[in-house]
Structure 1
Amino acid sequence: MEQLFRRRTQRLGIGLAAAVGAALVSVAVAGPASASESGTAGPTVAARSGSSEASHPSGTVRPLTLAEVTSRGLTRFVDTENYHAAKPQLRTSGAESATRTENAAASASASGCWSHDFKSHTVDQLHGTGHVDWCGNGTGVTYASSSCSGYEAPWMPTYQYLSCATSPAYGVGYNVYDLRVNWDLCGIYVPLWGACTTHARPMSHYRYDANGGVHLIAQTGA
């Protein structure tokens, strides 16, 4: 009888461990996995009332002050005498087509710089992050830089941020700057094996224009 009780207890423990593992898999990959393509109807999110920032499920974009532009060494990319960073907007439709602007005249009083922080379309406890700074003169992009990273909740030992890659396009000499970011996130990392058993590979693609506009071109969650 004692041996039978031990065997049943062991089976119950194995079954419970399997259930917990399955739950962790579902949490890791349960983030929405929808894509939003250019031209698809979607909301336009302008700056909040009384604020120069624009918020969106994908992140926050804000204009840089002239003091920030100076401290970051970006003054050579803007007209400091006519600096006016327009209030930003985040859109999911109506993105401009990319065109060259080398010989185009700058718009009057339209010189500005902006900053965009965003995260991947996955769960809050495990997600990728991205950052873009760019400047424009109302007609063309005069400066652009980008970076990416990731976040893993310290209280979830099976979650691990693995890597990310940025793929920029256009930028200086064009009317827009494009950035595509791909992340590799691990939902179940097994230290004993030193390997990941469940991957999520979200992607975000944004287009930035010379007036502070940010357009979500596409986004996937896995």
Structure 2
Amino acid sequence: MPHLDFSSSISTVNSSSSVSTILKETEVRQVMKPTPCMEIKRPSKKSHQRVLTRAFQSLELGLALIVYVVTVATIGVWLYTTVPTWASMSISMQLCYAQNTLCWFQGAFFRQECNPFSCADFEKAAMDEHLPTSVHLDYVLAVNGGSIVEEFTSPTLGYRKLSMKEQELYESRGFHLQHVKVYPPPIVINSEVRIARCWLFAGSTGHIAISLSEPIIISHLSFHHPDHRELSASLLS
């Protein structure tokens, strides 16, 4: 009866099965090995809302600036064409400069085209209104030959006659501390008019005498005074 050796076959089978098991484990490990990948996160609803809110705020600000620019320009043109006075000219020029500034901001930050007005017309109109002519020349001004006659002019408030020593200091420095804030009568015929630079006479009434360079026939008489709204409480008191 032939003898069959099962031990060798069993060992052969076991060895082959162990090899296949190792191969399978290696394949599983290779399959399960993580591969590098980039995770793409979708923006949340809150970030969408923030972006939309900022966009609407920028749009609202741009529209508000456009409306403001148009309003300012319209007011400036209306003042220039309807009320041709010194005050309106000044206001029109200020509005024109403000409109040009806003127009620059609109183009710089919002990338929107804006056609600013030319302020040269306002400046020329304001200058032409004050330029003297051969018919209405202001002969009283010092630049046109006018001078103050002190003998017939009221005394100045806060102004006293200087002593010899004070007179020397006044001539050397060009001014005296006692009279720094006191303006003499010649300030009246100065061509430059500024707020708070005016002649104050002593007493409740006063008069001033002005000598002209040549005989004239008076046809117009005008007084320039600052707007009380531009004066401080100390100046008004």
TM-score, normalisation: structure 1: 0.21
**Greater strand percent: which structure?**
1
**Greater helix percent: which structure?**
2
The structure whose Rg is larger is 2
TM-score, normalisation: structure 2: 0.20
